[in-house]
Amino acid sequence: MIKIARIDGDGIGKEVTEAGVAVLESLDLNFDFYEAEAGRECFEKNGTTIPEETIKVAKNTKATLFGAISSTPGEKSPIIVLRQELDTYANLRPIKSFKGIDCLFNDLDFLIVRENTEGLYSGYETIDETKDKAIAQRVITKKASERISKLAFEEAISLKKESVTCVHKANVLKKTDGIFKESFYKVAQDYPNIKTNDYYVDATAMYLLIKPQEFDVIVTSNLFGDILSDASAGLVGGLGLAPSGNIGDKHGIFEPVHGSAPDIAGNNISNPIAMLLSVSMMLEYLNETYWAEKVKIACENVLEKGKVKTPDLGGNNKTMDVANEVIKEIENLI
């Protein structure tokens, strides 16, 4: 029995999580889902965006399937809390072009590896008594920088990629990004067969627009990775097709990159593909590589055929229509 924490969250998070669970339950595997709460609706109900019970549930399972949440002003972010509590120190964001999708580039297949526990998202913010000035601390440590760099090189080997690029701003952030860059090259010495280079984050943003094919694996800090990965999703069709995995040594959290989209919530027209690809990443993390590949290929086939698609891709189908079509494709593949 595979224990999975299920956190639907808010808005379309509920719809896409339902689709993800439907696909998982269609597989020849035994899952035990443990439901938990987080997000704005949770705050309105319980006075907290993420109860201790939710953290406990996530810690007692190997993987967490996370939908989407609406932000709650002045309150802590549930996903950031979970990442820190479970020490899922790496955020993996595959950027891939899909046949059947009209996008800027048709030949992209690279991975952004983002440090997930510190940087400007470390949570250390203060404001002075006059409320005229706020200060956020950017925390970068050698331990976290070396750990994320090592994972990036291991991912390059696993994906049969030739190069890893370190993205930083060490010319301005001399101490913090100095540590990040130095740690990257220290780890690189253990991987002599992998090509390495490094770019400033602003230059990387330009290169992603004009020559994204150059990249195999990108490793970077928390804020830079957050921005670059969302921007890169725009190269291949948008956030509705963008999965992600938060990976640690003991736990994994898997979520679509998009938000809770309250403007369309309840209409059941949200695109579940990002969630279903996140499900594939979760299965890979759980060493269920056979089923991970089947779910991934099924999603790709549904996108390429283009017969069943949600409004964001120019169709008129519902969320579960797409999920059911993916399930049919999986059945055809086995």
pTM: 0.94
Does the domain at residues 1-89+242-334 carry the CATH identifier 1.20.120.1200? no
pLDDT band at 74 (very low <50, low <70, confident <90, very high): confident
The two three-digit tokens of residue 135, written as one number: 């200060």
The angle that helices 319-333 and 12-25 make with each other, rounded to 10 degrees, is 20
Beta strand 134-136 with 125-127 is antiparallel
Selection from 270, 229, 276 nearest residue 255 by Cα: 276
What local confidence, expressed as pLDDT, does residue 43 receive? 94
Domain ranges of the chain: 1-89+242-334, 109-234
What local confidence, expressed as pLDDT, does residue 300 receive? 97
Question: Over pLDDT 70: what percentage of the chain?
Answer: 100
* Residue 334 pLDDT > 90: no
Positions marked active-site: 121, 169, 202, 226, 230
Q: Fold match between 1-89+242-334 and 109-234?
A: yes
Does the domain at residues 109-234 carry the CATH identifier 3.40.718.10? yes
What local confidence, expressed as pLDDT, does residue 267 receive? 93
CA–CA dist 194, 159 (Å, integer): 12
Average pLDDT of the segment spanning 158-177? 97
The predicted-structure confidence for 240-289, as pLDDT tens digits, reads as follows 899 999 999 999 999 999 999 999 999 999 999 999 999 999 999 999 99
